[in-house]
Amino acid sequence: MIARSLKNEKFESNAFSSDESAVQNANLRHTQENAPETIDPRREKKRLLTVSESVEKSFVRSAVARTQPCPPSYEDPDEGGGDGNEKEKEKEEEREDEDEPASNLGARTRETGKWLAPFPEQADILERCAKAFPSTAERSALVRQILPSWDVDCILRHTREEVTAWFRSMEQTHRTAEVSPIAARRLYDSGITLLVQKMPVLTRLAQDIVRVLGFPRNSILCSLFCNQPGAKTLPHFDSADTLTVQITGSKTWRLAPNAHVRLPTTTWAYPDVSAHELRLYTHGQFPSTMPDENLETHRLEPGAMLYVPRGYWHETESSEESVSLHIHILPSMWADVVLKTLRARLLRDDAWRATAYRLWGLERAGDWDASKALDALREAVATLTPEDMHRPAPWAPAPDDRIAPRARGSVGVVGSTKGYKSVRLTSEEFAREHATTVEMSPSYLQATLLLADGPDPLSAKDLAGRVPNLSLDEALDLVRLLCDVGYARKAPASVGV
């Protein structure tokens, strides 16, 4: 817990989810109407106390449609998809991870870093070129310790839910089906490949890898492929980077750079018809067989690793029974980073939250048309700064320096005690969230809301002039706190918010 206090007082607040924006907005409106009357300004006892600051949590918001030729889809949390029970299980796993002693997490992370080496130091190859890492006895031994045994029966015993059966249809295309572990074992005996993802041990492993690589939480997805002899995959490319580690048996990979499309946003496998999104940036017909140009062949034995960038053509074949670990690096594309930031900025304006009835053929006076929307969009884009997309560097505003809420910064009243309000200040980037709860007296709250809802950036001097009973020094303390926790950023002199 971090405390910044003008009074040496303590206050504990309840946790508040940043996803409950509707409740925040309702609380804000109520506070704007009633907060100034809570305490007589002439007798107001000032308080600006940071009572809790969350550990930064990371989450990936990109919609990764498919990271394999035909796997289950991965829901985009921002789109509200996914099963409620699944989300609750994810929260339970996060709590278990947070409750685990730091010494255990540290030891696990160090072990993971050992067998991942030297991949973490290979940043230059990401999304650019494939690379094979020879088998080492240390890597093989460390990876095998993740489970008591790597035979299929042991894997299925540790599987939490359904397993994906992966087979080839009569039309020679890949198909999948979700089956129980018992049914999966029978299908495996008949030669069907199994894709296993819903294992607590894989979830913990993904978080260990996140800590090693320094990537956002949930940017890593781990899965296991269990192959019988003769198992093959058709030529395809994926929409996520993959680092595969051979655990038992051997598997042969053939891969080649993709001259047809770079950095695809969806997976493709012959003979699928190209998805609409793929056709936005690639127009030719994809080949039905592996390209010959710059074709590489790698036979992976236990302990060997292979990095395959997204978009690379590849096909695999197992000549013997094998188990391989696949580490998928889910992309956080600039298109998503910018669009999420821009959307947050637009939603501050009533006009952008209005339904586009005109596009439905309903003509109403005062409604925007597409031309007006585009004009307003250009103005909104001009207000964005790099600090809206990433946390600003530490900065101490002077009395005349104007600040503005960051595009994805939000403020909401989440509680009250003895006339003071508990205010939740949240700053989001594309893959990170930082939330701070501050206990404020009415003058500080009024100044915070002026900044949050005003059309223009404000300085400490502006706030002191507009809020009764708030001195310049107090306004400067507030402004510096808002910047320090990442809620606000410096406003350029040439533009508004």
pLDDT tens digits for the chain (497 residues)?
A: 223 333 333 323 333 333 344 434 444 444 444 444 445 556 788 999 999 998 565 544 333 333 344 343 333 333 333 444 544 554 555 555 555 677 678 889 999 999 999 999 999 999 999 999 999 999 999 999 999 999 999 999 999 889 999 877 766 677 889 999 999 999 999 999 999 999 999 999 999 999 999 998 889 999 999 999 999 998 999 999 999 999 999 999 999 999 999 999 999 988 887 888 999 999 889 999 999 999 999 999 999 999 999 999 999 999 999 999 999 999 999 999 999 999 999 999 999 999 999 999 999 999 999 999 999 999 999 999 999 998 889 999 999 999 999 999 999 999 998 889 999 999 988 777 899 999 999 999 999 999 999 989 999 999 999 999 999 999 999 999 999 999 999 998 755 55
- Between CA 376 and CA 373 the distance in angstroms is 5
> DSSP secondary structure string, 157-198?
HT--S-EEEEEE-TTS-EEEEEE-HHHHHHHHHTT-EEEE--
How many C-beta atoms lie closer than 10 Å to residue 271's C-beta? Answer: 10
Q: What is the DSSP letter of 421?
A: E
Residue with tokens 């310049």: 472
pTM confidence score: 0.80
Edge-to-edge strands, sheet with 251-256 = 268-269, 236-237, 313-317, 251-256, 296-300
Query: 484 is written with which tokens?
Result: 């320090």
Query: 3 is written with which tokens?
Result: 């405390």
> DSSP secondary structure string, 17-72?
-TT-HHHHHHHHHHHHHHHHHHS-GGG----EEEEEEPPPEE--------SSSS--
Overall fold of domain 63-331: Jelly Rolls (2.60.120)
Strands in 199-321 per DSSP E: 220-227, 236-237, 241-248, 251-256, 268-269, 296-300, 305-308, 313-317
Residue ranges per domain, the chain?
21-57+338-490, 63-331
Angle at 461 between CA 383 and CA 4, to 5 degrees: 90
